[in-house]
Chains A and B, each alone.
Chain A
Amino acid sequence: MTRVLERPRTGPAAHALVIGAGDYPHLNGGVGPLTPDHEGMGQLGSPPVSARAICDWLGSEFHHSDKPLASVRLLLSDPTDQRYTAPGTATTHTVDRAEIGPVTTAVGEWFADGDTDEENLLLFYFCGHGIAQGTEYALLLSDFGRDPGNSLDGAVDFHKLHLGMGACKAARQCYFVDACRSSSDQLIATEGYAGRVLRQPRPRPRSLALLEAPIYYATLGGHEAYARTGQVSVFTDALLRGLCGLGADDAEGDWRVDTTTLQKALGFCMGLAFDAGGRRVQVPQSGSQSTFFLNYLDHDPQAPVLVGCDPDDAIAEADLSCTDRNGAVISQRPPSGLPEPAYWRVDLPAGRYEFEASFPGGGRRSRQKSATVRPVYRRITLEVSS
């Protein structure tokens, strides 16, 4: 079973394929024989959690006025639990493992669903190991290394999948790949064989609308993606924040997340996550970047505000506060005594606020500033004088 959510629709709809591969029997720490192609890779705790979180969001918060959600397929490799219950449903599904066989079948079904209408929206999400070299990118499924003579038989050639999906009628497709893009000599040795080709690349049929299929990678090529064990990964967390509102704009009157503003939201979240103590900044990168709507919000989005002082070091002594238009204190931060971080972060619903730095210890004059908060984020600098 891979279809964990099904809402029959007539007309254009959204169809999602979600894959979370965390259990790798043939990598370090796995229960099976270690493949000679392990390259130091091991078990991952985050992908099943991240994939479930994406499915939860799809089932409960995804809203598209023209393309309502019609189906979600989920494949998981979780060493302890293959079950999933979609939000708002009472049915618990035991989902298929994220192995090449079930994934091949799921991709075929997902293609077929997308192929029913040119206005369909297809969403693809993968979280797990990935290896890359130049243009080639292999997404490693749980049975990577099962055949020690052909480890990549348990992998998907992502580049060719993306190309092959160009033959699908669905003209708008969006790909989210939360995996390392670490350089691998395997892909040099195999001369570009980067796993199974699940859809043969072919020219897009002439009768179909222009294909728009941006890709969002968790990292630049050659770099590793990072996750917190057993928690939603850094990229998926950023993605969910972006889809929930950080990537929203109201240029159409209501708040909508589109593919371009989502990218800016991802960039902000990832940068902030790593400034806050991560090991290295990951920079999300899209390939093609046409703009189309991904999610419609039914509420004002929240947006982060980074409040700092000029000079920077004044933030250590500053009593920082945020009040709404009625003068009610929304949030407050007492003096920290520390110069780092150089900003106070507060997440607020979009709107107009007053920010103030006061100095209980004296020595500096208080400073207030009004600012409108909206996605992606605002940075407020309070110029305080001695």
Chain B
Amino acid sequence: MSKLEIALDTWLAAGEVAQGVVARVRRLAAPDGSRVRGERPHTLVLPAGAGGARSLDVEGPGRYLVEATLPSGHVLSEEVDLTPDTPDARVELASAPVVGHSPHEWLSWQHLTGKIRPASAPRPAPPRSPEPMEDAGRTVIAGAGASGRPEPEESTTAVSAFRTRALTEPVLALRGGLPHGAEAWPILAEAMAPERDLASVLSASETLPELGAATGSVASDEDVALYRVDSGPGRRSYAVVETPDGAELATLPLPWQQIHTGQHCPLELLVRKHSLDAGFRTSVSVLDPDVGTALAYMENGDFHDARDIFEIAREMLYYKITNPLAAAAGGYMLLATAGREAKTDWHDWIHNLLDWFEPIPDGAVLYGTLLLRRGGDDEALVTAREAFVTAFERGLPYYSLGVTWLLEGLSIFGADDDNIAAKARAVRRVALAVNMDEAFTVVRFPARTLGAAA
């Protein structure tokens, strides 16, 4: 038996992420140089951010290939020869030659997860005929690097283009009352109607805290603004981001607790100043050392690597459900990657997610989808139908994949049920405005009169 110690040379302002990057190790050749075929690679998850390493027992002497796939999709690789005389080795994978450096220390998480390009990469062209941006008069709190010192080049730049604030309940803002659950669907749809004056919607949030000042550091450069949200009010929270294009309502997955320690993890809210094709500007990340990068893999469409990270914390995540929002994300990945040979021992806890965590619609979406996909008797289909109705009644899913799957379920059962068909139509109206390329649900409202909201 030989041992490989594998380290990933990346740097994160937030410090080390215990479960950071998925790596695979495969034996290429035996000690005599003959090619090895038919061996499945080892999979392990490397710590990221502070040069930490992880050990792996391998078959013995021979030549090995170590490949790590970053959440951004970039692959780092190194080969190593182990001999009877040197049966162990350390392998260092350097990310900078492949992905470049983060443009700023405060963007290091966004850089690792592929949400922004490296400093040397060309930036997207600014929008044609940009709308004049209103100055909301915010003073930015300096971003701090690992040393704790502020970065001078951006620290005094005002965030002039955005009014960003926290809402405890979007429907509260929309109607001034306390509708929740199923009432969210028509209210969100109504807010998208051409005749709706969004200013009156947003004015309801006047007394609510601004994200930047109230909840953490904010930093900005000419391309992006970054908001840090350390905690929420303990119930459903959203951020409304106003831009010249309109407004975006971003789901804030709060409270988000580390699955082993119970400590609250901060969120980062990235707002792009230049709209890309789709016009979406807002992105939410969770700085969770256990599953934060799994969410990034999920967002970038790499569901298998995301699942591998969630699986490390299987016991805490799925059976003790110390963080139901993280468990839901893991559930999406398990369901999305499930093949016919997949284990089924997780099916029961999907039901627990539905039963135990009523405020989270995603549990019901997952359970309905699970029943639909695995098939079953007529009773199972009835239960699946009920699960999708329950999900609808619990409101907007935290995850955009949940919006898609909810719509799928309601569409299937709506074929012979007018009541469910009406629910499918209500979800579809909102789903048309959801950014499906984000992990967490972000809904866009087209530009209208926004001036009264400041």
Contact = CB atoms under 8 A, between A and B. Distances in A.
Interface of A: 133-136, 159-160, 163, 171, 182-183, 187-188, 191-192, 200-212, 220-224, 250-254, 260, 263-264, 267-268, 271, 280, 283-292, 308, 310, 352, 370-372, 374, 376-379, 381
Given A134-B433, A182-B277, A290-B339, A251 B39 contact: yes
A251 B40 contact: yes
B237 to A, nearest CB: 22
B37 interface: yes
Contact of A206 (B41, B65, B380): B380
B372 to A, nearest CB: 6
Contact of A191 (B26, B65, B404, B428): B428
A250 B435 CA distance: 37
A289 B277 contact: no
A267 B411 contact: no
18 contacts: A133-B433, A136-B428, A188-B433, A192-B431, A203-B381, A206-B375, A206-B381, A207-B375, A210-B373, A210-B374, A222-B277, A222-B278, A222-B435, A223-B276, A251-B26, A288-B303, A288-B336, A379-B75
The 9 closest A-B pairs by CB, nearest first: A222-B278, A253-B38, A134-B432, A285-B301, A192-B428, A290-B339, A135-B431, A289-B303, A206-B375
Nearest to B39: A251
Interface in B206-261: none
A242 to B, nearest CB: 14
Nearest to A267: B73
Contacts of A207: 375
Interface in B58-108: 63, 65, 69, 73, 75-77, 79, 97-98
B300 interface: yes
A371 to B, nearest CB: 6
B97 A310 contact: yes
Contact of B340 (A159, A171, A268, A377): A171
B425 A192 contact: yes
A271 B73 contact: yes
Given A208-B375, A252-B38, A381-B97, A290 B73 contact: no
Contact of A222 (B41, B338, B437): B437
B73 to A, nearest CB: 5
Interface string B407-424: 110011101000000000
Contacts of A187: 432
A221 B432 contact: no
A289 B428 contact: no
A201 B98 CA distance: 44
B375 A222 contact: no
Nearest to B94: A381
Contacts of B76: 379
Nearest to B81: A370
Interface of B: 26, 28-29, 37-41, 63, 65, 69, 73, 75-77, 79, 97-98, 124, 276-280, 300-304, 336-340, 342, 372-378, 380-381, 384, 403-404, 407-408, 411-413, 415, 425, 428-429, 431-437
Contacts of B302: 263
A182 B279 CA distance: 11
A216 B259 CA distance: 33
A260 B304 contact: yes
B340 A308 contact: no
Given A183-B277, A203-B384, A285-B437, 7 more contacts: A133-B432, A135-B431, A201-B411, A206-B381, A267-B73, A288-B303, A289-B337
Contacts of A203: 372, 381, 384, 412-413
A254 B432 CA distance: 44
Contacts of B413: 203
Contacts of A371: 79
Contacts of B276: 222-223
A282 to B, nearest CB: 11
Contact of B415 (A135, A200, A211, A287): A200
A370 B33 CA distance: 13
Contacts of A208: 375
A376 B404 contact: no
Contact of B411 (A160, A191, A252, A254): A160
A201 to B, nearest CB: 5
Nearest to B340: A210
A221 B435 contact: yes
Nearest to B33: A352
A192 B38 contact: no
B375 A205 contact: yes
Nearest to A291: B339
Contacts of A206: 375-378, 380-381
Given A203-B381, A206-B377, A221 B63 contact: no
Given A187-B432, A191-B428, A210-B338, A135 B437 contact: no
